[in-house]
Amino acid sequence: MTLSQSVWTDTDQYLERTVATDAAELDHIRQAQDDGGLPDIAVSATQGKFLYLLATIAKASRVLEIGTLGGYSTAWLAKAVGPEGAVVTLEYEPKHAAVAQASLERAGLAEQVEILVGSALDNLPSVQGPFDLVFIDADKANNPNYLGWALRLTTAGSVIVVDNVIRWISEDGPNAEGTRDALELLGSNPRLDATALQTVGVKGWDGLAIAVVR
């Protein structure tokens, strides 16, 4: 069987209608991202639900997100921690942060989310841990640095998720080097127990890495 992008997209849309039905309540965030001219690089609906389930399984009450974009993944994580929890999310672009803030307010999730605007590496030293889950989805060249901060800001049992770790593996340049270095760190650091998965879907071919802090 030869599979194509159209098949992957159709399958993702089917899964969104069947097992990720609550994604519809966050459709306005995806629309706001499109209307605001933000790049089409947010997680898909099924990936967002996957993050929600991971945070729920981990019983996360505090989540750190590196890379907010328009707040779509942020909203899923905020839903998971609930009104008594907290999500700290870091976004480099002020425009993206403004779109995210407006969308989170509309979704009724803004109270448990703090958006820090500017370079993540500049803001991370002021972030107070520990966090139960860290989601890294920012500039890939800095993934090893972000992983280092994730280790500083987590404790045993915390979950670390790194997005977009597959498509860059065989490429050249800073993003590819950062991706490979991050995967090597995930596999070699004695504090981490990790794996990585390839994925296909509406976002094409890629994958993510998941680690538990020992």
Average pLDDT over residues 93-97: 99
The pLDDT-based confidence of 194 (bands split at 50, 70, 90) is very high
Please provide the distance, in angstroms rounded to a whole number, between the alpha carbons at the two ends of the chain: 41
Place of tokens 């039905």: 21
Angle made by CA atoms 58, 153, 136, in degrees to the nearest 5: 70
Instruction: Transcribe 106-173 into DSSP letters.
Output: HTT-GGGEEEEES-HHHHGGG----EEEEEE-S-GGGHHHHHHHHHHTEEEEEEEEEES-STTTT--S
Q: What is the pLDDT of residue 90?
A: 99
Q: Are 198 and 169 in contact (CB under 8 A)?
A: no
Q: Where are the domains of the chain?
A: 5-213
pTM for this prediction: 0.96
Residue 22 CB: number of other CB atoms within 10 A?
14
Domain 5-213: CATH architecture, name and number where available: 3-Layer(aba) Sandwich (3.40)
The amino acid at residue 35 is: D
Gap between the Cα atoms of 153 and 11, Å rounded: 37
- Written as six digits, the tokens of 36 are 């605001």
Say how many residues make up the chain: 214
Give the chain's mean pLDDT: 97
Q: Is the peptide bond before 174 cis (omega within 30 degrees of 0)?
A: no
pLDDT tens digits, one per residue of 65-74: 999 999 999 9
Distance of CA 147 to the CA centre of its chain: 13
Q: Could you give the C-alpha distances from 122 to 77, 92, 162, in angstroms and in order? A: 23, 10, 20
Q: What percent of the chain has pLDDT over 70?
A: 99
The helix (run of H) or strand (run of E) holding residue 180 is helix 174-188
